[in-house]
Amino acid sequence: MSLAQRLAWLDGVSTLAVLATAIAVWSPATDDPVGSLWRLAARVGIVAAVCLGAFYYNDLYDFEAPHDAGQLFTRLCRALGFAALVLAGTYLLFPNAIIGGNLAPYALFVTLFAVLVLRLAVYTLAKRAPFSERVVIMGGGRLAAELAEQIATRPDLAMRVAGVLTPEGDAVAGVQRLGAYGDVPDVVLRARPDRIIVAMPDRRGNLPVSALLSCRFRGVRVEEGTEAYERFTRRLAVESLTPSGLIFGDGFRVSRAQLALKRGMSVVIASIALVAMAPLIALIALGIKLESRGPVFFIQERIGFGGRPFRLVKFRTMRQAERGADGIWQRDNASRVTRFGAVLRRYRLDELPQCVNILKGDMSLVGPRPEMASNVATFSAVIPFYNLRHEVRPGLTGWAQVRAGYSMSTQEVTRKLCYDLYYIKHLSLRFDLWILFDTVKFVLSGKRPG
């Protein structure tokens, strides 16, 4: 269980404890204690569930975002304020759900300080002995630097970087150099690491195999750098991947039953969405026609499963492009976005017609976003393993969309590919549901991830 999951349990337990204490102290005695107890448990459960949902909605379980004391306090206040509004609406619709004595507002106030103290205590202990691991990183390249940064800045990683082993002249900013690759036995005796992460850019002839085997037998964990990076960030390090690692490594396997369930879920949800959203779709179409000239729908050829092209359908959100604007990024010039189109984009409503693509089999509900054919040719030539995105159906939403948002440069496309490959490697129905849950959060908030 990750620290984020443990914190979710701690937050839930602390909220329940605050409510239970308040009820035990201030609730009057009743003639039916058993029935009263069950009713109180249900009401307390509602408050705890709303609080946890508010914490999730305000990114309190996203540890790639900053989590210093000030930001933590701000997010908690915002989360509990949101929870209070939701509970007020719930109590307005269902008066029987109100906790006697009007205790919920006071409980939320106490919960703010209880959760704040718990979080700060956990964040502090997670970076101190004996609650954290001492880590030595072998390597002086980009992967080693990113691993060191993740360990230093992430409060959910119960690790401390003791130092790095690099060739003479190489260094990782902000981290002590302990020696060269051949100094592993001496460094292990001096630094006493719990884990060694091998992030060497070139291992051929440089990897101290015997020394690392000796460390392994003595209880020191030895971890491959790309695997550690994947575990920390939930994305693959594309620049450090090798064909043999993809061929012989774990993952990238999915059963036909899983694919059938995934397809069934996509068809059912897309069908329900089209029927339920029919009035909204009609209003959007009317708004597009009233604001600017042109068709209601924007149809564009994209590359889908197996590299086959298909016609993707969206609501039109931009005015017609000027002639000659044929660059990779100029087609999506923000200056051409209409005012109504900006609203549609912010809340992802322009994507609704793609439910038709899902029903036709061109797309899935979850998967890598389909790209234009001309862009695919360009990216395939400069980004390693880019074409692996086409081994699954493209999606209306995806892991890259909820983690990285839109891409407007080759560097951003590469970063999104790291998430796409992670999704393909770990593809499952449970993962799809997680992504859909994240998608709802971003759609409701109207903000871009990343």
Provide the CB-side half-sphere exposure for 290 (13 A, CA): 8
Amino acid at 140: G
| Nearest alpha-carbon partner for 317 in 295, 329, 374 | 295
C-beta separation of 82 from 54 below 8 A: yes
Rounded-to-integer distance, Cα 416 and Cα 439, Å: 16
Q: Chain-centre distance of CA 5, in angstroms?
A: 14
Residue 35 pLDDT = 59
Domain regions of the chain by residue span: 3-125, 133-233, 256-445
- Among all chains, which residue has been given the structure tokens 């899902």? 358
Residue 14 pLDDT = 79
C-beta separation of 226 from 236 below 8 A: yes
| Nearest alpha-carbon partner for 405 in 395, 391, 415 | 415
Rounded-to-integer distance, Cα 59 and Cα 71, Å: 11
| Nearest alpha-carbon partner for 282 in 268, 299, 296, 269 | 296
- Kind and range of the H or E run holding 246: helix 243-248
The segments of the chain whose pLDDT lies below 50 read none
C-beta separation of 335 from 302 below 8 A: no
Could you write out the three-class secondary structure of 98-138? CCHHHCHHHHHHHHHHHHHHHHHHHHHHCCCCCCCEEEEEE
- Condensed to tens digits (0 to 9), the pLDDT of residues 363-418 reads 999 999 999 988 999 999 999 999 999 999 999 999 999 998 777 788 889 999 99
C-beta separation of 126 from 155 below 8 A: yes
Domain 133-233 classification at class level: alpha beta
- Condensed to tens digits (0 to 9), the pLDDT of residues 65-93 reads 777 888 889 999 999 999 989 988 988 88
| Nearest alpha-carbon partner for 360 in 312, 325, 427, 320 | 312
Residue 183 pLDDT = 94
Provide the CB-side half-sphere exposure for 326 (13 A, CA): 4
Token pair of 24 as six digits: 């035990």
